[in-house]
Chains A and B, each alone.
Chain A
Amino acid sequence: MASPNTVALRRTPLVAAGILLGAGLGGFVDGILLHQILQWHNMLSGQLPPDTLVRAKVNMYWDGLFHAAVWVLTAVGLGMLWSATGRHDVPHSGRTLLGGLLLGWGLFNVVEGIIDHEVLGLHHVYEYTPNHLPADLGFLAFGLALLLGGGALVRAGRIR
Chain B
Amino acid sequence: MQKLFLSLACSLGTGSVAWACPWCRPRVQAGIYTPAYTTNVLLVLLPVAVLLALGLALFYWDKLRPYFGVSYGKS
Contact = CB atoms under 8 A, between A and B. Distances in A.
A and B, one complex? yes
B45 A65 contact: yes
Given A54-B28, A108-B51, A111-B50, A69 B44 contact: yes
Interface residues of A, number: 40
Interface in A1-31: 8, 10, 12-13, 15-17, 19-20, 23, 27
A120 B54 CA distance: 20
Contact of B62 (A12, A27, A43): A12
Interface in A23-68: 23, 27, 43-44, 48, 53-55, 57-58, 61-62, 65-66
Interface in B24-46: 24, 27-28, 31-32, 40-41, 43-46
Contacts of B54: 19, 107
A118 B61 CA distance: 30
Given A57-B24, A69-B44, A76 B55 contact: yes
A27 B52 CA distance: 12
Contacts of B20: 53
Interface of B is mostly: helix
Contact of A13 (B31, B44, B59): B59
B15 interface: no
Nearest to A71: B48
Given A16-B58, A44-B40, A54-B24, A73 B46 contact: no
Interface of A: 8, 10, 12-13, 15-17, 19-20, 23, 27, 43-44, 48, 53-55, 57-58, 61-62, 65-66, 69-70, 72-73, 76-77, 80, 84, 104, 107-108, 111-112, 115-116, 120, 122
